[in-house]
Each structure stands twice: as structure tokens, then as C-alpha cells.
Amino acid sequence: MGISENINDILLDIKKLSPDPEKVNLVAVTKYVDIETIKEVLKGGAHILGENKVQVLTKKYEELSSYSINHKWHFIGNLQKNKVKYIARFIDMIHSINKLSLAEEINKRAKEHNRVIEVLIEINLFQEDSKEGYDYQDFLNDIPALLSLENIKIKGLMTMAPYTDNEDFIRNGFKKLRELKDELNILYFNDSLTELSMGMSNDYKLALEEGATLIRVGSKIFE
């Protein structure tokens, strides 16, 4: 199978499985591939590209910046504060806010470039003691401070499921993320949280059924 056929299959799955397909976007995760292959992705009809390493992302951004097909870059990995400055001038969305100090750094760097950067709050719903994601109680305490940051815009929530065959476990996590978004919208965000970033190659179909608006798919595009 080719890249454009694989992308087409995923776009059809969005139409078929999502309760609200118009609101769903595919983030094509390009961390496995080179620039020539990324051009195939853009020609195949995916326009949001995702990377999880700052150095690789910055290099690919430069190499692709004058390419004729419009595209956006999303940062999806664990982001260190001292690297925010390298992506602040161009990044369209950061999926992985896990603490206030990171949000403050993004806000500061966005301001230097007169930009507002869209961000998602990463919530770990699968492992209690994992270091990934925002500690939920900390997040609740930090909401007033987060909302005061004028150069970031919190658009929604993100989560990552573990590799497991247990579909019910994964589905319940995705469902929980949607419920948290609805609850947070009522209590604090006045319906401004619109995005749910959940689902990767092996679980994006479940995520679509549970209301994902951003699916982050890599290997399935390139198999």
C-alpha cells in the first residue's frame, strides 16, 4: 500500500466512525520519515504534521518552509523548557503541556514573536504513577494562572494510551478524557475547550468513536 492510499483509508475511517467528522483532523506523525516522504504525505491530503523531537522538527520545518503545499506543525512529544525557544516562532500547536512552568515559558517565547500559540493539556488517564502528563490536581490548582497567560490559548486535552490489547481499558480512558473536557468546559473554560487529541495507529478507531478531534497517526501511514 502507498502513503496516499493509507491516508485515504484513515480519512474514510474519520467519516465512518466519528460522531462529528467535520471537527476531526488527522495529525500525520512524520518522526519516522525524511523530507521527500513528508512531501508524499502532503500530496496525499494530510496537512497537519506532528513531530516529537525539537531538533528534528526544527530541521524539517526549515527544509519544508517554502514548499508549495500549505502545512502546519504540531509538537506532540515531551517538551523541555530550555527548547521552547527553538520552535516558538513557527509551531502551530503544542499537545503536551504538563506543568505551569512549561506553559509560562511557551507564553514568554510566544510573546517575543508576537504570537499566540495553541496548546493542549496532557492528562495521563492510564497509569497513576507515570511522570507523563499534568498531575490532575496540580492542573486544577493552576487553571487561574494558566488562563492569565495571554500568549497561549488552551484548546483542549491530550492523552496517550499504553500498548495493550485491552480495548475496553483504552476506550474507557478515551471516554474519561471526553468527560473531563465537558466538565472543565462547564466549570472553568466556558466551552473554549474544543479539542481532544487521542488515538494513534493501533487505537485511533476507538478514539474516533469516543469523540477524538485530533488523531496522531504515524506508522499506519507508512506501512
Ligand X SMILES: *Cc1c(COP(=O)(O)O)cnc(C)c1O
Which residues bind to ligand X, rule: CB under 6 A? Answer: 29, 31, 52, 76-77, 160, 200-201, 216-220
Nearer residue to ligand X within complex by CB, 75 or 139 = 75
73 near 39, Cβ under 8 Å? no
To ligand X, the closest distance from the beta carbon of 158 in angstroms equals 8
Nearer residue to ligand X within complex by CB, 88 or 215 = 215
Name the one residue in this structure whose C-alpha cell is 496537512. Answer: 47
To ligand X, the closest distance from the beta carbon of 204 in angstroms equals 8
- Residue 124 CA to residue 178 CA, distance in Å, equals 13
To ligand X, the closest distance from the beta carbon of 223 in angstroms equals 9
Residue nearest to ligand X (CB): 218
To ligand X, the closest distance from the beta carbon of 93 in angstroms equals 13
Nearer residue to ligand X within complex by CB, 141 or 164 = 164
- Residue 143 CA to residue 188 CA, distance in Å, equals 8
**What's the grid cell of residue 175?**
471516554
Nearer residue to ligand X within complex by CB, 18 or 159 = 159
Instruction: Measure the CA angle with vertex 31, ends 25 and 32; round to 5°.
Output: 115
**What's the grid cell of residue 174?**
478515551
Contacts of 95 (CB under 8 A, 6+ apart): 50, 74, 75, 76, 119, 120, 122, 158, 197, 214, 216
Q: Are strands 117-122 and 72-75 parallel, antiparallel or unpaired?
A: unpaired
Nearer residue to ligand X within complex by CB, 113 or 215 = 215
Nearer residue to ligand X within complex by CB, 114 or 163 = 163
To ligand X, the closest distance from the beta carbon of 152 in angstroms equals 19
Q: Are strands 117-122 and 152-158 parallel, antiparallel or unpaired?
A: parallel
Helix (H, G, I), strand (E, B) or coil at 126: coil
To ligand X, the closest distance from the beta carbon of 23 in angstroms equals 19
Q: Residue 100: CA atoms inside 13 Å, Cβ hemisphere, count?
A: 14
How far, rounded to the nearest angstrom, does the alpha carbon of residue 183 sit from its chain's CA centroid?
A: 20
